[in-house]
Structure 1
């Protein structure tokens, strides 16, 4: 018998309790960190304290993986095979100095606030005073660490960018994201959306809702996710453990949806909401990469996500990647930032943080927008 899922607030509390007791690797195989907590606006938020960053740490935890290692992988991936040697030389000329600055900044041991080890964290609206209180408490509790706050986008949380800057944080470009409002009738007039919705509701593949999911499905769902995000894309993506999938099934921390073809699960979608946010997103998506492309599994999953967002009366955070695909389905491109605070550190670390931030503020928007075209 499947019992009703706990409330979203309780699910987040249970996630954090387990993370504090067992560490980040309980939920994400490549997230070696400890968890503590801090209170913002009477809400308990996770605080991750990572072990020294390594090449194996997921980008959702490690600034080095996010800004250096992942970017190097992308540069090599986009370069024509015959020119990959040149791309490596050019990449090293950019990334080596950045790597030195990052090391000198202390960001390899950064404390991350509000980070649930997913690609896109969602936040409620906090006031300027709450950010001031947060910054003061962090300096008191973690005086020897720099702090980072991921997933800051003015279009998602309109005041965050300004409030963080006014509190002394630096906003560093991190990635291009795509936002969509499924409540806008124009979204559903896109030809690609119309075709995808028709495909989603064709009878050859069954849509499996959260209430139909079973424990026996979870190993397959994890495999589908890993086929896409780990094997097809990058080992720096978060590698969700089977414990995480079990927790999502029990608590709806991520609301699991699936696609079934001839009795076998062939697609999975994990929908994430946060109390007080008007957005939903999907940090977890996967499909059987061996199936014929004509089945359009990714198209079906994204159509399902769009449909769920409309049903929930939420705006849709498409996250990053697949730019052309998402823009053809109502996604608008925006820069997302990671906030860094280092005002309390020693002179060398403050200087390295300042130079690191200034460098990325100058070059990252150009690179991200250029890469976005591919």
Structure 2
């Protein structure tokens, strides 16, 4: 199922009907059909990851990247076995153990911290024994948030059957699902026997009705941006010489300040995304020509997300670099009439600017797995739905 480079380019223009096989597999015998418009973007993004390996582009991701077909669409998938030190983008263990431990600092109650630390301590060996990281993630762009085109139920059904057959010992996972952007897909998946496992609380801004722009904090942020001596740099003005600085700014914020489990993009990754327009990158440049802030947006199916954000954390907070970067993307969503998915984190910042929360889930298919592994996945789902979701909502995480 791994696609060689020339095979990928052919398949971007010749996509068989629903199926998950590689060239020469039964799914290719179903004939040719109309190519999905999103496939060109998928190929441009996935081809380097397949050719050189994911870790050449994202330092803390060890995974096998492949392509599958779902109806007319090509979807990137990642295949893993253990890799417990991986970024959470393809490691449920990192999501529910390593990252969860880091997030305990958000709680003020030492008692609650202690209880949660104990629960995570019990979960850790259980999840490893259940081979929680032996999985196939579907439509996995290795970003903090995966965005989805529409997937018809029949295509999902065929894809489920094909992946179950090809990976009989792997759980199959769709990350980044929520009731705002994926209500029908979630309904279809659960109807086909997938379970929903909560992961985090995320925030949305409705650019089609951008009342949020009138919130006082957003008005102040816009004023700060207008008065700043920093110059807004558009995507076309970003130069290859900026790539090392973009990586540095992102690492300052997302890795050093937030979490080592966030994906660590390399200069090669930034170059591929910039040159092919896979991320729309904008920056804030000072009078010396140095970037002091950067934001990269990923667009799909009328939704914007911002997986690449960074700024010079050594500068005083009063400079408002993060506020200005967020103002750029909030304004863009309103101008283009798109839904903005601002992921998780900085919850208070997003709420007071009009962000609306939603619980995010992973849909997991486990019916083909041994009983012990199914039991652990089901137990995790019940625990997080029963305890994790109420905690996220109560503490506004």
Using the size of structure 1 for normalisation, the TM-score is 0.92
Residue 182 of structure 1, CA deviation: 2.1
1:38 alignment counterpart: 68
Q: Which residue of 2 aligns with 1:74?
A: 103
Structure 1 SS opposite 2:378:
helix
Structure 1 counterpart of 2:291: 265
- In 2, the alpha carbon distance for the partners of 1:351 and 1:131 equals 24
Which fold has the larger relative contact order, with Cα–Cα distance below 8 Å and residues 6 or more apart in sequence?
1
Q: Deviations over 1:296-344 (max 9, x none)?
A: 1001000000122223321111111111111122210110101111100
CA deviation vs aligned residue, 1:30-81 (integer Å, no higher than 9, x gap): 0111111111131111110124122x3111111011111101111145457x
Q: Does 1:21 align with 2:51?
A: yes
CA contact (8 A) 1:76 1:87 kept: no
Instruction: State yes or no: 1:314 paired with 2:329.
Output: no
Structure 2 residue runs without a partner (length 5+): 1-36
What pairs up with 1:23-172 in 2 under 5 angstroms? 23-54=53-84, 56-76=85-105, 78-79=107-108, 83=110, 89-172=114-197
Instruction: After TM superposition, give the deviation of residue 357 of structure 1 in Å.
Output: 1.6
Aligned residues of 2:232 and 2:285 also touching (Cα < 8 A): yes
CA contact (8 A) 1:101 1:352 kept: yes
4+ residue segments displaced more than 6 Å: none
The answer for the alignment partner of 2:302 in structure 1 is 278
Give distance in 2, aligned partners of 1:185 and 1:15: 31
**Number of residue equivalences:** 360
Q: Give CA deviations for 1:221-269 in whole Å, capped at 9, x if unaligned.
A: 1100000000001101111111111112211111111001222100000
Give the Cα–Cα distance (whole angstroms) in 2 for the partners of residues 40 and 294 of structure 1: 48
CA–CA distance in 2 between the matches of 1:164 and 1:308? 32
What displacement does 1:112 show? 0.7
Aligned to 1:329: 353
* Alignment counterpart, residue 393 of structure 2, candidates 359, 369, 372: 369
1:301 aligns with 2:331: no
Paired with 1:130 and 1:286, the residues of 2 have a C-alpha distance of 38
Matched residue of 1:256: which SS?
strand
Q: 1:18 to 1:304 in 2, by over 3 A?
A: same
Q: Aligned partners of 1:315 and 1:124: how far apart in 2?
A: 14
Work out the CA distance in 2 between the residues paired with 1:49 and 1:290.
Answer: 38
Q: Is the 8 A contact 2:107 2:113 kept in 1?
A: no
Deviates most, 323-332 or 223-232 = 323-332
CA contact (8 A) 1:112 1:148 kept: yes
- Whole-angstrom CA distance in 2 between matches of 1:9 and 1:121: 15
TM-score in terms of structure 2 length = 0.87
Give me the whole-angstrom Cα distance separating, in 2, the residues matched to 1:88 and 1:194. Answer: 36
Name the CA distance, whole Å, in 2 between partners of 1:355 and 1:165. 17
- What per-residue deviation string (whole Å, max 9, x for no partner) do you get for residues 259-286 of structure 1? 0122210000001012xx1211101100
Please provide the CA RMSD for this pair: 1.8
Tell me the distance in 1 between the aligned counterparts of 2:68 and 2:367: 20
Equivalent pair of 1:101/1:355 in contact (CA under 8 Å): no
Cα distance per residue 1:65-114 (max 9 Å; x no partner): 1111101111145457xx5xx67753342012322332233222211111
Runs of 5+ unmatched residues, structure 1: 1-6
Q: Look up the match of 1:243.
A: 268
